[in-house]
Structure 1
């Protein structure tokens, strides 16, 4: 198994799981600022169920490759710190030791179920990203951008690239393609802390949790 073969398997599975969730373009031309009314407008929240379909494709591909087992989990195992209320979740538990499980938590956008997905990592899982950000047209740049970001975080967990640091003062996450931080981490050189955690040089200050694991194959 390698990253490209796995991604090809995800795309093949997505042709089935995403058959009823079509893609869509950005609601505005590139470079155009959102209109004021777009910040409170979301005429079709159901379109975001494409994220659920993408998650199902990843779970199917990983399971069929013999890399993981997919199992529903109760609230106690849902990603901690999610930016959205969750209604259900599944854990994609890797077979290889020293790896980090993937947990996908599903919630609603407006009243549309399964339209929001929180990507969690670890056991117990921490939330590393929730998509979409809010669902309004102003924050929407089309489904291609959304799926690309979803794949970035999930593939980082599977490839062993993801590093997540969390503590009372905030959190920081790196995917191998970029990094972001919140709270006190945004005011510090979080990139150095993330890299030290990735290489195992330091587990960070007391009270800081590190989530980082090996590649799944």
Structure 2
């Protein structure tokens, strides 16, 4: 397989191929609000740090129980989504979108569904460990997939993470979302 040309990195000729993410996220938000004991808040998104992608709307889905991980979805002008899951899991869908990466919209839609299913099933774990060097450990488990990793943290990183309003349970393991009554 041949490497993509250098000019394909950073170039996005068809961002609209990800337009289906926006209605899919809306359907997901409605579904989660219907099935689970959560509060759904919608509002303006904070300003984007990107010079090319604007943030449009922020939707926070917060389970009533504090030991259940919240999900925040930020809609972007790309079109795409920024997700914050639990306390410290932040990622973009699509992850890049450039011509070189050749991300496929169907794969990105599948990722959105997988992350939502794992989160609601209580299959996210995140914690800070380490005596001499702080390490952020995370683990996601789906029905047929798993993602995990570690990141070494500076003292400033730990302070910033610990200052966030959402913190994981003491053991790092988030619980499954409670169904609506």
Note if 1:149 corresponds to 2:117.
no
**Contact 1:49/1:116, CA 8 A, preserved across alignment:** yes
2:41 counterpart of 1:71: yes
Give the Cα–Cα distance (whole angstroms) in 1 for the partners of residues 114 and 150 of structure 2. 19
CA displacement at 1:160 relative to structure 2: 0.8
Partner SS for 1:184:
strand
Structure 1: stretches of 5+ with no match in the other structure: 1-30, 79-83, 110-114, 186-199, 204-209
Pair 71,116 (structure 1): closer, same or farther in 2 beyond 3 Å: same
Which runs of structure 2 are paired with 1:107-118 in the superposition (5 Å)?
107-109=76-78, 115-118=79-82
5 Å-filtered alignment, 1:33-72, equals: 33-65=3-35, 67-72=37-42
- 1:141 CA drift (Å): 3.1
Deviations 1:47-92 (A, max 9, x none): 323222221111111223354332114668x9xxxxx874431012
Aligned to 1:180: 148
Aligned-residue offset at 1:214: 2.5
CA distance, structure 2, for counterparts of residue 169 and residue 97 of structure 1? 24
Aligned counterparts, 1:1-217, within 5 A:
33-65=3-35, 67-73=37-43, 86-95=55-64, 98-109=67-78, 115-122=79-86, 125-165=87-127, 171-176=136-141, 177-181=145-149, 183-184=151-152, 203=171, 210=172, 212-217=174-179
Distance in 1, matches of 2:72 and 2:100, equals 28
Tell me by how many angstroms 1:158 deviates: 0.9
Distance verdict in 2 for CA 1:57–1:44, change over 3 Å: same
The two structures, once aligned, show a CA RMSD in angstroms of: 3.3
The normalised TM-score by structure 1 is 0.56
Higher helix share: 1
C-alpha spacing 1:173/1:48, structure 2 compared with 1 (3 Å) = farther
Q: Structure 2: which 5+ residue stretches go unaligned?
A: 48-52, 154-168
CA contact (8 A) 1:86 1:108 kept: yes
Superposed CA offset, 1:18-71 (max 9, x none): xxxxxxxxxxxxx55433332232112233232222211111112233543321
Query: 1:96 offset after TM fit, Å?
Result: 5.2
**Count of residues in correspondence between the two structures:** 153
Kindly indicate whether structure 1 or structure 2 has the higher relative contact order, using CA contacts under 8 Å at least 6 residues apart.
2
Query: Does the 8 A contact of 2:118 with 2:124 survive in 1?
Result: yes
Bigger strand share: 2
Q: What SS does the corresponding residue of 1:133 show, helix, strand or coil? A: coil
Distance 2:92 2:127 in 1: 16
Alpha-carbon distance between aligned partners in 2 of 1:173 and 1:140, rounded to the nearest angstrom: 27
